[in-house]
Every structure is written in structure tokens, then in C-alpha cells.
Amino acid sequence: DIVMTQTPLSSPVTLGQPASISCRSSQSLVHSDANTYLSWLQQRPGQPPRLLIYKISNRFSGVPDRFSGSGAGTDFTLKISRVEAEDVGVYYCMQASQFPYTFGQGTKLKIK
């Protein structure tokens, strides 16, 4: 199984400042079709996960443009350009390039 490792596990951020979360996979996520199926999900307290980013860098419908994704191969990053209060929650990376799909441990974003 592909292991997804996120850092940091907790990230205190000042409102209006940027935030960055890293996700590393134990093997390349490049699929046989040449795509990389790495997505980012946000889970606000008491809510189900919500899709933010798919295939490394594609924002899902309705996701603010302060969220961006980047990376390749085994190293990926989610960036929030200016953190807002509604961004508090846990962020997960998820790989779907190979079965079984796997998630990172989650990164808790909180406001300083």
C-alpha cells in the first residue's frame, strides 16, 4: 500500500498569513495513464470532508482561489495564500493512483 505522510501535523497560522501543508507518498503517484491522482480535502469541525483540489492542482467547483496545489511524483503541497477564519479544520491528502486508495494522517490548521 502507498503510505501518505503529511507535515506538519498541526499548523498554527495568523489570520491573513499564508499556510503550507506538505504531503509525501512512499512511491510515485504517476498513474499508467500519465496522470497523478492526488487530491486535497478539507474537513471542518463536525463536517464531512470536502474536496478542494484534484489531480495535484485543479481547484474543485466553488473552492476559493486562495487555495492552490502543486507538486509531482512523490512530493505535493497545498498552499493557502491568506488564511481566513473559515479555513480552520483538518486537511487531508489522498492518493487514488493505485488501489487501495490511501489518505495522509491529516494536518490540523488552527488560528494563532
Partner 1 sequence: QVTLRESGPALVKPTQTLTLTCTFSGFSLNTSGMSVSWIRQPPGKALEWLALIDWDDDTYYSTSLKTRLTISRDTSKNQVVLTMTNMDPVDTATYFCARIRAVDIVADFWGQGTLVTVSS
Contact footprint for partner 1 (CB under 8 A): 1, 31, 35, 37, 39, 41, 43, 48-51, 54-55, 58, 60, 92, 94, 96-97, 99-106
Q: Can you name the residues that pair with 44 across neighbouring β-strands? A: none
Complete DSSP assignment for 69-86: EEEETTEEEEEESS--GG
State which residue, 27 or 35, has the beta carbon closest to partner 1: 35
* Cell numbers placing 32: 499508467
Q: Tell me phi and psi for residue 87, to 5 degrees.
A: -85, -5
- Tell me which DSSP letter residue 30 carries: B
State which residue, 61 or 112, has the beta carbon closest to partner 1: 61
State which residue, 20 or 106, has the beta carbon closest to partner 1: 106
Tell me if 37 sits within 8 A of 51, measured CB to CB.
Answer: no
Closest distance between partner 1 and the C-beta of residue 58, in Å? Answer: 7
Closest distance between partner 1 and the C-beta of residue 60, in Å? Answer: 7
Q: How far is Cα 74 from Cα 16, in angstroms, rounded to an integer?
A: 29
Closest distance between partner 1 and the C-beta of residue 103, in Å? Answer: 4
Closest distance between partner 1 and the C-beta of residue 15, in Å? Answer: 25
